[in-house]
Amino acid sequence: MQREVEVSNSDDLAGSARLELVEGVTLLDPESALFEAMLSGWARQQRARFLQESQTIAPRIALVRRFAAFSGQYPWDWQPSEAEAFISHLRSTADRPVAVSTARGYEVVLRLFCEFVTDPRYSWSRECLSRFGRAPQQIFHEWNSIAHVSEYEGDPRRRPLTYDEVQLLFDAADGRVENIRCRRRKGALAAMRDAALLKTIYAYGLRRQEACGLDLVDLRHNPKAVAFGRFGAVFIRYGKASRGGPPKRRTVLTVPEMDWIVPALEQWVDEVRPLFAPGRHPALWMTERRGRLSRHCANEAFAYARAASGLPAELDLHCLRHSYITHLVEFGYPERFVQDQVGHQHASTTALYTGVSDEFRTRLLMRAMEAHGDELGMTPQ
C-alpha cells in the first residue's frame, strides 16, 4: 500500500508523463508525439533544478534530437550500438573531428536523458510499454564510454599568449581604429570599443559573459590603491555558475602591472561611450543600436585582431584569460591570490590555465641556484 502511494505521488514530479500527456486524446502520430513529450518533460525537470535555459537545457535537447535523427529511431528503440556508431561518426568527420572532451560531454548528456526516461518515477517506460511494447534503456555504460584519464583534454594548440603576442594583438586592435579613420568609413567608435574591451578582458582575466555583463556601477574604487581611482577593481556579478546555482560573484582587483588599463577605461567611459548615446542604459559595453554587447561580438573583436596581428587561428578569446593567469604567476603573485582573482573554486583548475614561459622557469632556477650555490658547490653562470 505504501508503495502505491509513492508511485502515485511520483506522477506529479516535474517532467512526468502524466503532466506532459493529455489523457483521453488519440494521437495522430503517437511515436513523434511521445518523443516530443519526453523532451518537454526533460526540459521541465531541468528547469525545476534551476539549470540555465540557453546554456544547458536548450543544447541538451538539441543534442538528443540530433542523435535521434542520426539513428532514425525513437528512444524506446535505442541500443548501445547506435550510441557507439554516433560517436564513431563524430570522430570520422573529415572537416572537423570531435574533440575527446566534446565527445564525453555528448555521452554524458545522452546518458542523463536515458536515466530520465528510464526512471520509473516519471512513468515514461510504462507509457512506452503500453503504447509500443518496448521501453527505453540506458545506451551508455562504463564499457562503451570514454574513460577520463587526463585532467586537461582541450586542444593542445590553445595556449596563453606571450607578452609580445598580447602587445601585437592590442596594436592590431588600435590599428583598426586608425585604418577606419584614414579611410573615412563608419565603425571607428565600434573599433575603439573593441580595443578597450580586449584590453579589459586581459587586464582582469575575464570570461566573455563576465565582460559583456559588466555595468558602469561595477567599476569600483580600491581604498588601498587610490592611484587607480574609480578603476581600482571590477565587481563581477555574472561569473560562471555551478550547476543549478546562480551566477557567482567576485571582485577582481587592478594589479600594478596592469595599471595601463586605467587610462584605457577612462577614455572609454568618459569620451567614447557617451558618443554611443546610451542614455540610461547601464551596460559598460554598448552597441551602435544602444544595446548590450553580445558574447558573439566579443568573439568577433578578438578574431579580427588575431587575424590582423598574424597570430595562430587556434587561439581564441578565452586565451586572454589563460594569459592573465600565467602572467600573474610570472609576476610573483601567490597562487591563492590568482585563484581568487579569476574565480576558480579549485587551485587545480588555475594550474591547468597556467603555462609559464621557459624564461620564467629559468629565472626561478637561477634564483634557487644562487640561494643554494654554497651548499651544492655551484656557481651560476
> How distant, in Å, are the alpha carbons of 68, 85, 193, 212, 274 from that of 281?
43, 50, 16, 13, 11
What span, in angstroms and rounded, lies between the C-alpha atoms of 321 and 89? 33
Does residue 274 register a pLDDT over 90?
Answer: yes
Instruction: Say if residues 17 and 45 touch (Cβ distance below 8 Å).
Output: no
Q: Cβ distance 62 to 73 under 8 Å? A: no
Identify the pLDDT of residue 365. Answer: 65
> What is the grid cell recorded at 371?
640561494
Return the pLDDT at 155.
63
Residues 251 and 285: their CA atoms lie apart, in Å, by 19
pLDDT in tens, 287-307: 999 999 999 999 999 999 999
Catalytic residue among 193, 199, 207, 327: 207
The pLDDT, as a whole number, for residue 5 is 41
- 199 belongs to the catalytic site: no
Q: What are phi and psi of 290, to 5 degrees?
A: 65, 35
* Amino acid, single-letter form, for residue 106: Y
Whole-number Å distance between alpha carbons of 109 and 127: 22
- Is residue 48 predicted with pLDDT exceeding 50? yes
Q: Is 252 helix (H, G, I), strand (E, B) or coil?
A: strand
pLDDT of residue 96: 75
Would you say the pTM of this structure is higher than 0.95? no
State the average pLDDT for the chain: 87
Q: Which residue out of 193, 321, 322, 327 is catalytically annotated?
A: 321
Q: What is the pLDDT of residue 3?
A: 45
Among 163-177, 236-250, 322-336, the least confident range: 236-250
- CATH homologous superfamily of domain 163-356? Intergrase catalytic core (1.10.443.10)
- CB distance 292 to 283 below 8 Å: yes
Phi-psi region of 357 (alpha: psi -120 to 50; beta: other; left: phi over 0): beta
| Phi, psi dihedral angles at 237 (to 5 degrees) | -110, -10
Confidence of residue 79 (pLDDT cuts 50, 70, 90): very high
Cα angle 211, 217, 220; round to 5: 85
Determine whether 318 is an active site residue.
Answer: yes
The whole-number pLDDT of residue 122 equals 94
Asked if 315 contacts 159 with a C-beta cutoff of 8 angstroms, the reply is: yes
pLDDT-derived band of residue 6, with 50, 70 and 90 as boundaries?
very low
**Closest to 89 in 3D by CA, of 72, 112, 77, 74:** 72
Segment 343-359 shows an average pLDDT of: 70
Q: How far apart are CA 200 and CA 206, in angstroms?
A: 8
Three-state DSSP class for residue 254 = coil
Burial, 9: exposed, middle or buried (Cβ in 10 Å; 0-12, 13-18, 19+)?
exposed
pLDDT the model gives residue 296 = 95
Q: How many residues does the chain have?
A: 381
C-alpha cell at position 353: 590555465
Percent of the chain with pLDDT over 90: 63
**pLDDT for res 127:** 92
Which H or E element spans position 5? helix 2-10
pLDDT for the residue numbered 181: 84
Alpha-helical regions (H) of 183-250: 188-204, 208-212
The domain ranges of the chain are 2-144, 163-356
Sheet with 248-253: strands ordered across: 219-220, 233-239, 248-253
Annotated catalytic residue: which of 47, 104, 318, 333?
318
Report residue 2's pLDDT band, with 50, 70 and 90 as the boundaries.
very low
In this structure, of 48-57, 230-239, 259-268, the range with the lowest mean pLDDT score is 48-57
The more confidently predicted of residues 95 and 39 is: 39
Split at pLDDT 50, 70, 90, the class of 110 is: very high
Contacts of residues 88-95 at CB distance under 8 Å and 24 or more positions apart, as own/partner, are none
372 is catalytic: no
In whole angstroms, give the CA distance from residue 114 to residue 108: 10
Q: What is the pLDDT of residue 355?
A: 66
Active site residue 344: yes
